[in-house]
Amino acid sequence: MKMYHISELEQLSGIKAPTIRVWERRYNLIQPGRTDTNIRLYDDQQVRKLLNVATLLDNGYKISKIAALEEEDLHAMVLGLQGPTAEGEAAATTFIHELVIAMLSYDEAGFERTYAAAVKRYGVFEAMLQVMYPLLEKIGIMWSTADAMPVQEHFAAAVVRRKLITATDALTIKKKRRKKFLLMLPPGEWHEIGLLLANYLIRSKDIETIYLGQNVPYEQVSAVVAKAGVTHLLLFYITRPVQDDLRQIRQQMALPRELPLLIAGSEYATGGLRSAPATFLLQSPQELFKYL
C-alpha cells in the first residue's frame, strides 16, 4: 500500500498542510501513522476521507459539521453533489475528487460512473477541460517527471487513455481546413496522455491532425511536414530534454523558419528551454485554442 506524505495530501486535496494538522488535533479528523523520525504518513483510506472533506468544504459545508459525520455518510453526501443543481467549479471539483478516489481503490466501475456523470453534465468537450485535464494535473500523469509512475497512476492513465481515444474516434472532420497539426512526443518521451488530450481538443475544433505518438526521432519530422502540408507542430516534453535550445531543436527537425512550433509539458521540462522565433510555450489547453 502506498503511503503519502502530508505534502502529497496537500496537493491531492488542495487543503494546506497546517490546516490538515490543526484538524487532526481539533477534530480527530484523520490520524496519520508516523515514521521513526516522527514524519506523518497517510494511507489510501485517509486520503479518500480528506478528499471527501475537501469536496464538502467546496460546496459550502462547515468543517465542524463535516468532522462529526461517519465516513459512509460523508461519502453519501458527496455523491449527492454530482447532480445538475451543483454549482460550476464546486461540481467539477466533486467529479475530480471522486475520480481520484476511484483511482486509489482501482475502482474502474466507479471511475466510469463518475466520468459518465461529468459528461452528462458538461458534454464531452467541457468534461475534458473542466474535469479530465485538472485530474491529470492533480495526480501527476500528464507532467510526470519520474521514469516510473505509481501503479495507481498507471491504472488511471489506462482508463483515461481509452476515454480520450474513444472521444477522438467519435469526431469527424466536416470540411477541409487550411490548418493541419502534427502532434508527437520527442525522442525518449513515452507518456502520451497530454498529447492525446491535445489531439482531441484540436480535432474537436474541426481541424485535421497527424498523430505520430511516442518517441519520434527529430530527423524524421521534416519529411512529414513537407509531404503532409503541416501548418503547426506540437511537441510535449514530460522529462527535461537534453538539448534546451529550441533553435537547435528546430534545426534538428529542419523546420521552415515560419512554421509555428508549440511546446507543452511539465514546468520542470519546459521552464529552462531557451526561446526561438516562431516557437511558443503553452501553459494550459486554453492557450492552445489561440492557434486553432
* Predicted local confidence at residue 88, as pLDDT: 63
Domains contained in the chain, number? 2
Domain membership flag for residue 93? yes
| Residues 39 and 114 grouped into a single domain | yes
Query: What nine digits make up the cell of 170?
Result: 467519435
Q: Which residue has the higher pLDDT, 75 or 291?
A: 291
Q: Which residue has the higher pLDDT, 26 or 271?
A: 26
Under 8 Å between Cβ of 193 and 164: yes
| Residues 160 and 256 grouped into a single domain | no
Which residue range(s) make up the domain with 37? 6-166
pTM over 0.75: yes
| Residues 185 and 153 grouped into a single domain | no
From 145, 166, 187, the end of a domain falls on 166
Domain membership flag for residue 1? no
Percent of the chain with pLDDT over 70: 93
Alpha-carbon gap, residue 48 to 58, rounded angstroms: 15
User: Model confidence over 167-213: pLDDT tens digits?
Assistant: 999 998 766 678 999 999 999 998 899 999 999 999 999 999 999 99
User: Model confidence over 128-157: pLDDT tens digits?
Assistant: 999 999 988 887 765 544 444 578 888 888
Q: What is the mean pLDDT of the chain?
A: 88
Best CA proximity match to 104, nearest among 162, 150, 161: 150
Q: How many CB atoms are located within 10 Å of the residue 186 CB?
A: 25
User: Model confidence over 223-253: pLDDT tens digits?
Assistant: 999 999 999 999 999 888 888 899 999 999 9
At 231, is the secondary structure helix, strand, or coil? coil
Q: How many CB atoms are located within 10 Å of the residue 152 CB?
A: 17
The answer, yes or no, to whether residue 271 has pLDDT greater than 60, is: yes
From 166, 201, 227, the end of a domain falls on 166
